Amino acid sequence: MTAKILNGKEIAKSKRADIKVKVDSLKKKGIIPGLAVILVGEDSASQTYVRSKQKACQTAGIHSVLIELPESTSEQQLLTEIERLNQDQSIDGILVQLPLPTQISEYAILEKITPHKDVDGFHPSNIGKLVIGERGFIPCTPYGILEMLRASEVHIEGKHVVVVGRSNIVGKPVGQLLLNEHATVTYCHSKTENLEMITSQADILIVAVGRARFIKATAVKKGAVVIDVGINRVQEQLVGDVDFHEVKEVASYITPVPGGVGPMTITMLLENTVQSASRRELWSC
């Protein structure tokens, strides 16, 4: 068998068309959704990602503000900028591009963003709501994975999900999100013993470890759904954390790299921003 491709580009395209309709509806009511992105320093990967976000906002009709700060920016200067945006009624979402320079505490910055503008879904308040199953902003990559599975009609309830990776950005929240969808979830990481034995039991395998072609066919159950979150540069080529060419012969569905999870992450950022703007509409009533 050869796996069906979970085409993130196509799913994102459809989702963004729906978002554009929502934006147009809000504009007719005098509300223009606004997203502010703060970029500290000159990391090339971050600059590329920010440009993609700005382009996506423009296409969707979302007002986008880019604030570029030098590498030498102090933590207090960044906190002051965030507070200004917290008070700006034209801004519905605030995103601080990670990673940050070493002199700045990532936690302090993410905590400073007011939760109702935390469209990245990283504020402790929104993570807490995710854990208890209450409505809040969901981190964009996990949210995108869930939407991909739904769009492809992959059944989640009762299935065994194995997450390889335990980051606060992807691993932990995606496991909790799918637990909320009634999956049985197992977390694995760099210190997990007998890793292949565990991953080969997964109905849905999600890999986010940042190691090129780390998961081989021997680690995958026949017919499993494989979601590859990784993106690694190998000899001028972008590859995932899963050995795509091996694993596609075992899995039932698999995401490519690039073109899989990546487009969905930016799409769900737009969705969260529009959700925030919709709440502004309710507050103005």
pLDDT for the residue 285:
47
31-117 maps to which CATH number? 3.40.50.10860
Q: Which of 166, 169, 63 is nearest to 110 (CA)?
A: 169
Q: Read off the tokens for 199.
A: 């991953």
Cα 139 from Cα 5, distance rounded (Å): 24
Does 140-261 match 31-117 at the fold level? yes
Return the residue matching tokens 């068309």. 17
Cα 231 from Cα 215, distance rounded (Å): 13
pLDDT for the residue 44:
85
What are the phi and psi torsion angles at 33 (to 5°)?
-55, 135
Q: Read off the tokens for 134.
A: 């209450």
- Whether the full predicted model's pTM is greater than 0.85, yes or no, is yes
Query: Any idea which fold 140-261 has?
Result: Rossmann fold (3.40.50)
pLDDT for the residue 201:
98
pLDDT for the residue 280:
76
Q: DSSP per residue over 205-262, as a string?
A: EEE-S--TT-B-GGGS-TT-EEEE---EEETTEEE-SB-HHHHTTT-SEE--SSSSHH
Handedness of CA 128, 172, 150, 49 (dihedral sign): positive
Cα 128 from Cα 120, distance rounded (Å): 14
Q: Which helix (H) or strand (E) holds 173?
A: helix 171-180
Cα 20 from Cα 36, distance rounded (Å): 18
pLDDT per residue as tens, the chain (285 positions): 699 999 999 999 999 999 999 999 999 999 999 999 999 998 888 888 899 999 999 999 999 999 999 999 999 999 999 999 999 999 999 999 999 999 999 999 999 999 999 999 999 999 999 999 999 999 999 999 999 999 999 999 999 999 999 999 999 999 999 999 999 999 999 899 999 999 999 999 999 999 999 999 999 999 999 999 999 999 889 999 999 999 999 999 999 999 999 999 999 999 999 999 998 766 554
Cα 264 from Cα 179, distance rounded (Å): 20
Cα 186 from Cα 171, distance rounded (Å): 11
Please name the residues in contact with 54: beta carbons below 8 A apart, sequence gap of 6 or more: 37, 64, 66
pLDDT for the residue 164:
98
Sheet with 225-228, edge to edge strand ranges: 4-5, 253-254, 225-228, 204-207, 160-164, 184-188
Q: Which of 259, 261, 255 is nearest to 242 (CA)?
A: 255
Q: Which of 16, 44, 21 is nearest to 278 (CA)?
A: 21
Handedness of CA 168, 174, 180, 182 (dihedral sign): negative
- Residues involved in catalysis: 53, 97, 120
**Is the CB of residue 47 less than 8 Å from the CB of residue 18?**
no
Give the domain ranges of the chain.
31-117, 140-261
Bridge-based pairing of strands 232-234 and 237-239 is antiparallel
